[in-house]
Chain A
Amino acid sequence: MPVEAPVATPTLSKEEVLRYSRHLIMPEVGMEGQLKLKSAKVLMVGAGGLGAPLGMYLAAAGIGRIGMVDFDVVDHTNLQRQVIHGTKDVGKKKLDSAAETMHDINPYVQLDKYDVALNSDNALELFGQYDMVIDGTDNFPTRYLVNDACVLLKKPNVYGSIFRFEGQATVFAYEGGPCYRCLYPEPPPPGLVPSCAEGGVLGILPGLIGLVQATEAVKLILGTGEPLVGRLLLYDALAMRFRELKLRKNPECPVCGDHPTVTKLIDYQEFCGLGRGQEEVVEATGDIDPVEVKQKIDRGDDFILIDVREPHEYQICSIPQAKLIPLGEVQKRMNELNTADEIVMHCKGGTRSAKAVDILKQAGFKRVRNMKGGILAWSDKVDPSVPKY
């Protein structure tokens, strides 16, 4: 059988033959497949939870050229799941830390580092240089941006997403197949779906979902097996259950449908309702600085401090005077409060408590304020012995 080697593909060196021998002896990969991997160009968006296993295994598999887009810096809270970074890397650029690990795993791989925030101005040019894009991002604006750019350029988008102990994975925009907008035409408004920083994530989960993405990327390159196209894979780590739902192309899809209305990249911050930022919404509900709250406590002011976080977060740290009413219970338990009371609400960072303030205001409470920056700001400004998480 003739080996269909692209022009730029050299042969494998003696060292590489040894390195990839467990691939080479497998007919599904073989020399032909390994050369395909070597000539492949894959772009990873994000070098975090999903990017960690992706980067390590794609490098190990011998993908010839791996691009990485990330502008973040490694911090201690990353280490619970981002295994491409180590304790010694805290404070380093994630790109540098990831590249160092990947280079150590496989020095025969070319690594392109893009220390930028992906946006509508740079996405098409960047994506254009690669065969496929792997979406390991953490927010809706970037996910819609990655999707639209992939559809416009006709590049597969290997998608994975995680929340707490549940994950989703699929391959979008593969040979005209369904895209992210076919699945979800619009993003949730800011604040309605809890973020990972609020909701947490089981550290092992991105490992598994990232490896599903890596597997699919390698299969697409090899052209072998049945790609995860037209199927949405759902994984529930608690139940240890995989499920599969049908994913159909939506003929009305604004970007890949029969009559697309999105024919170039748009402003994704605005599309996701983040136009002027969430800060203003929080501001409008009336903020109070943690220092001022502390002064009120010290003065013995007559007011009620309510913590709207979840009980397990309360166990990590709390303000002694605070009464715990998780956000999900505020509606039900507001009868424990008086509309004339002076109330200050707080959460971890200030987003959930802003929602709680809105709930009470809509119910007729007049003197409700949100503690700016939540218990994190309390730790910074009032009591450094309160641990941050």
Chain B
Amino acid sequence: MAKVLIPTPLRQYAEKKDTVDLHGATVGEVLTALTTQFGDLRKHLFTDEGKLRSFVNVYLNDEDIRYLNKDKTEVKDGDTLSIVPSIAGGLYAG
């Protein structure tokens, strides 16, 4: 079981949860489990082709999965997966 940390901007698509415990042998499997549970998250994390979006980074513990084995990176019990999207924050007319 891995702990997935959901960042503030995406919590609205995950029933306001900040963490979710999920099963999966790889990062890809855990993220699939996540977007299966919260369908609205999918388009915020992945492109239509199923690629992780370039303004969303995923870290296994403190390491960027781009420098590990990407979505095939092995996940062990007790690992933490962080989703870290880019934020620009200040005051911006919306």
Using a CB–CB cutoff of 8 Å, the interface residues on chain A facing chain B are 46, 48-50, 77-78, 136-140, 143, 161-168, 183-188, 192-199, 201, 206, 232, 234, 239, 243-248, 250, 310, 326-328, 331-332, 348-349, 351-352
Contact = CB atoms under 8 A, between A and B. Distances in A.
B64 A248 contact: yes
Interface string B65-94: 011000000000000001011111111111
B57 interface: yes
B36 interface: no
Nearest to B90: A138
Contact of A161 (B54, B55, B87): B87
A239 B6 CA distance: 13
Nearest to A272: B88
Given A163-B87, A246-B64, A138 B92 contact: yes
B62 A246 contact: yes
Given A166-B7, A186-B54, A331-B40, A137 B88 contact: yes
Q: Is the interface of B mostly helix, strand, loop or mixed?
A: loop
Interface in B42-64: 44, 53-55, 57, 59, 62-64
A46 B90 contact: yes
Contacts of A186: 54-55
Interface in B2-56: 7-9, 12-13, 18, 39-40, 44, 53-55
A125 B57 CA distance: 33
Contacts of A244: 62
A328 B12 contact: yes
B89 A161 contact: yes
Given A137-B90, A187-B86, A192 B57 contact: no
Interface of B: 7-9, 12-13, 18, 39-40, 44, 53-55, 57, 59, 62-64, 66-67, 82, 84-94
Given A166-B87, A245-B82, 12 more contacts: A48-B91, A49-B91, A140-B86, A166-B7, A184-B57, A193-B88, A194-B94, A197-B92, A234-B82, A239-B18, A348-B94, A349-B93
6 shortest A-B CB distances, which residue pairs?
Answer: A138-B90, A162-B89, A195-B92, A163-B87, A198-B94, A328-B12
A328 B13 CA distance: 6
Contacts of A206: 89-90
A185 B90 contact: no
Contact of A245 (B8, B40, B64, B89): B64
Contacts of B84: 168, 232, 234, 245
Nearest to A183: B57
24 contacts: A49-B89, A137-B88, A140-B88, A161-B87, A168-B87, A188-B53, A193-B86, A193-B87, A194-B9, A194-B94, A195-B94, A196-B89, A196-B91, A196-B94, A197-B92, A206-B89, A234-B82, A245-B63, A246-B59, A247-B64, A250-B66, A331-B40, A349-B94, A352-B94
Task: Choose among A46, A183, A195 the residue with the greatest number of B CB atoms under 10 Å from its CB.
Answer: A195
A136 B90 contact: yes
A160 to B, nearest CB: 9
A163 B13 contact: no
A197 B86 CA distance: 16
B43 to A, nearest CB: 8
Given A164-B8, A245-B59, A248-B64, A139 B92 contact: yes
Contacts of A161: 86-89
Contacts of B88: 137-140, 143, 161, 193, 195
Contacts of B44: 192
A326 B94 CA distance: 16
